Structure 1
Amino acid sequence: MYRYLIVLASALLMACSEPSKDISQRDTPISLSLITGVQPGFGLVKVSQEQGLFEKHNIELHVIDRPSGKLALKSVINQEVDPDFILVADIAFLANQHRLSNYRIVASVFDSDNQNALASLAPINDLSALKGKTMCTQHQSALHFYGQLLVEYSGEKDVTFKYLNISDLVRGLYEGECDFITIREPFISQIKKAPPKPVYIQQFAGIYLQHELMLANERVSSKDVARVLTTLIEAEKLFISDEEKVISTLSKSLSATPKSMKSLKEDSMWEVSLYRPLVHCWKDKCLGLWTLA
């Protein structure tokens, strides 16, 4: 209830500069679009769709999928699509926020410190195994930042980064182009299902806390943003009250194994939070190198 009030109060504050509307319009039917990567961060949206929560709030939501949040952003930047909302990892947004001036952060909808993993054809005993090796990742993405953090934690200097499309990372590992790759679901499950070669996957919980952001186009009114966020907050309850149904929805949406999704759920939070920490990051320019795309 507390966060419902925060969302509604925030919407009212943001709406001060908007033309006033009759309160009866609050539940009028609206049609909105959202682009997202096929990744765990879209969990609240997928569960809301599956359970008919958007329809309950008279929201027709058209969801556009891309293999990753980075590619979702690229589609927007290249004007291939013009969505009302974008779901994307905080790091990918920071790297491209100067190209998205007509979008604003309205919330985070997912947090995890154990979503990403390091994969190799050889056993990974510890991070010293990175020395003298090639790590493949997706450029300027959460996976890229995760890989950089692993190298920093390892203390190794002799590590080469190579950038591939996210759909080519597994191929690069099998063909010997990469010694290591950084991956996440659904690619972790895909590797485990039918690998042509044994693959070793190691996760390092706590190294990187990833946030999935929801961005809204400036044309979307604050009241409509509040309606969408209220819907997602309702979906949060199901992650506690009906875990089996949630795991089933996430597994199907990601083509991931239920076991993998249940494990991820233990280290993650699918919840709506009005997001502020990145503001300090921008002011301090702590991630300035990511804006030099």
Structure 2
Amino acid sequence: MFENPSKKMHMIVISSIIIIIFLSSFNIVSAQTSNEKPLRLSVGIWPPNFLAYVAQEKGYFEKNNVDVNLTLAQDYAGTLTDYANGEYDGMFVVYSDAIIQNSEGIDTKVVFNTDIAKDADPIIGNVDNLTELKGKKVGVDGINSFSHYYILESLKKVGLDEGDVEFASIPVQNMSDALKKGEIDAGHFYNPYSLDALKSEFKILSTGAIVPGVLTTVLAFHSDVVEQRPNDIKNIIKSLVEAKEDYEKNKEQDIKIMSVKTGVNKTDIIKGLDDAEVMDLEHNSQISMNKELNTSASLYTSGNSIADFFAERGVISKYPNFQYIIEPKFVNELLIEKK
């Protein structure tokens, strides 16, 4: 039995049209992807942030089809200024600083809670406990800063208030020297800067564990970037979550990557990661970004307390709208997809 030639030709034409449409669609998608500029992300000197380098070096960003340009930020204060000036699309930032940025008109969205201080951010001094700091001088990384707020909240736990101590503004990288020289009696540290002070036999008086929610690192982006490139933001978060899971399986390998990319030694990186609680999607969705949760672990609740502190001191003039600043949709979508 012979096939009808006209019917055969008809099928060939239809198949060709389908192939052309498919290839055209593929080319359009490819062009859109390739024309997107890399998202510029600032990575501060804080070990949990270094998981971004694991995501980069192990191909998680590439796997999730997002192009990210990571910049190691040695000068945290300078990074805040650079972000405000538009030199970065996003940054790993202390939550309280993101609040200040918004108050100053730098439209920013918090899209992920990366970690909270656990045994990190020690208050280290030449006395035996926080109570003995009464009448002493305490170093903070900036007056009316997150560091200042953290020390005050810690002192409240032992019945001391601001009038009971004298504060000195000292950059964290200089805190250990100030303590050794006797310029201060205690100070707020974080890794890797705390290890030098501990080598000199000073004592840990307290850590972030006693004031949950006060010291929180978040991933934040300019609002227009979030609106224009939501899939990229979502895929960055996904890549960071996968990098965390990779680290839990391949610690030695990933610590080497982080050390090579940042110049921070392996011991300091291990200490920093062990002393912080690195967050996952579940914690973000159910706790950090849960506006119904009335605990300091919620970014909404802790944000209000931090804003009160800044408003009382004139650091911010505009009270933040946390319903606008916090954007939980990405973690919620990723959690649903994961299930």
Shared fold (TM-score, shorter chain, > 0.5): yes
Partner of 1:156: 160
Bigger mean CA deviation after superposition, 125-134 or 273-282: 273-282
Structure 1 position 184 matched with structure 2 position 190: yes
Does the residue aligned with 2:209 lie in a helix, a strand or coil? coil
Checking the alignment, whether the CA contact within 8 Å between 1:110 and 1:268 is kept in structure 2 is: yes
Partner of 2:300: 279
Q: Distance in 2 between matches of 1:268 and 1:26?
A: 40
- Relative to the length of structure 2, the TM-score reads 0.67
Bigger mean CA deviation after superposition, 82-91 or 168-177: 168-177
Cα 1:145/1:94, change in 2 over 3 Å: same
Partner of 1:53: 60
Partner of 1:243: 251
Does the residue aligned with 1:111 lie in a helix, a strand or coil? strand
Does the residue aligned with 2:69 lie in a helix, a strand or coil? strand
Partner of 2:221: 216
Q: Distance in 1 between matches of 2:269 and 2:132?
A: 25
Partner of 1:168: 174
Does the residue aligned with 2:246 lie in a helix, a strand or coil? helix
User: Residues 138-180 of structure 1: CA distance to partner in whole angstroms, max 9, x if unpaired?
Assistant: 1244433321122111223421111122332222222222111
Does the residue aligned with 1:219 lie in a helix, a strand or coil? helix
User: Residues 185-218 of structure 1: CA distance to partner in whole angstroms, max 9, x if unpaired?
Assistant: 11023445xx6x5433444352133321111122
CA RMSD, Structure 1 to Structure 2 (Å): 3.0
Does the residue aligned with 1:287 lie in a helix, a strand or coil? helix
Q: What is the number of equivalent residue pairs in this alignment?
A: 264
Does the residue aligned with 2:106 lie in a helix, a strand or coil? coil
**What is the deviation of 1:46?**
2.4
Cα 1:23/1:154, change in 2 over 3 Å: farther
Does the residue aligned with 1:268 lie in a helix, a strand or coil? strand
Partner of 2:123: 118
Does the residue aligned with 2:210 lie in a helix, a strand or coil? coil
Bigger mean CA deviation after superposition, 58-67 or 266-275: 266-275
Checking the alignment, whether the CA contact within 8 Å between 1:91 and 1:145 is kept in structure 2 is: no
The residue identity in structure 2 corresponding to 1:168 is N
More strand by share: 1
Q: Distance in 1 between matches of 2:190 and 2:134?
A: 22
User: Residues 239-268 of structure 1: CA distance to partner in whole angstroms, max 9, x if unpaired?
Assistant: 321122234444553624527725742652
Unmatched 5+ residue regions in structure 1?
1-21
- Relative to the length of structure 1, the TM-score reads 0.76
Cα 1:163/1:26, change in 2 over 3 Å: farther
Q: Determine what percentage of the aligned residue pairs are the same residue.
A: 19
**What is the deviation of 1:89?**
1.3
More helix by share: 2
Structure 1 position 127 matched with structure 2 position 150: no
Cα 1:106/1:125, change in 2 over 3 Å: same
Bigger mean CA deviation after superposition, 83-92 or 165-174: 165-174
The residue identity in structure 1 corresponding to 2:106 is S
